[in-house]
Amino acid sequence: MDLFEKLGEMAKSVGDKANETIELGKLNAKINDEKLKMNVNFQKIGKYYYDRYKAGERMDGNVQSYCEDLDAASKKIDELKKELDNIKNKTDAAKAARAAEDIPESASESIVCENCGHLNKPGTNFCGNCGTKLK
């Protein structure tokens, strides 16, 4: 065999391997698509039975237990959301309190910044808005 024949065979072999790899990738992608469809349908089946359970129908053994687990998880999510709301409300209340502290009790008691016109609390040395030294 001469050099060019060997090179030709090697190139063909590499090409065949590349085509095989591409084909394997395509088949694996199709398998994954079908698995995804199966999972979507499993979820639909579960939702169907859970809706029947919520409507008052008694489920068989494990299905009843799974539905009760879903109820418990849903209840826990609601409790956690309430905790989040409480924390947010406390944070909002603290922000409002800090903002109220920054507002002078009356305009006559406040110090007006000559640079920007911002009203500052009495005893303040620098403007809370622009940082200018107050008189």
Greater model confidence, 48 or 99: 48
Greater model confidence, 106 or 124: 124
Taking all residues of the chain, what is their mean pLDDT, rounded to a whole number? 89
Burial of 10 (0-12, 13-18, 19+ CB in 10 A): exposed
Amino acid of residue 4: F
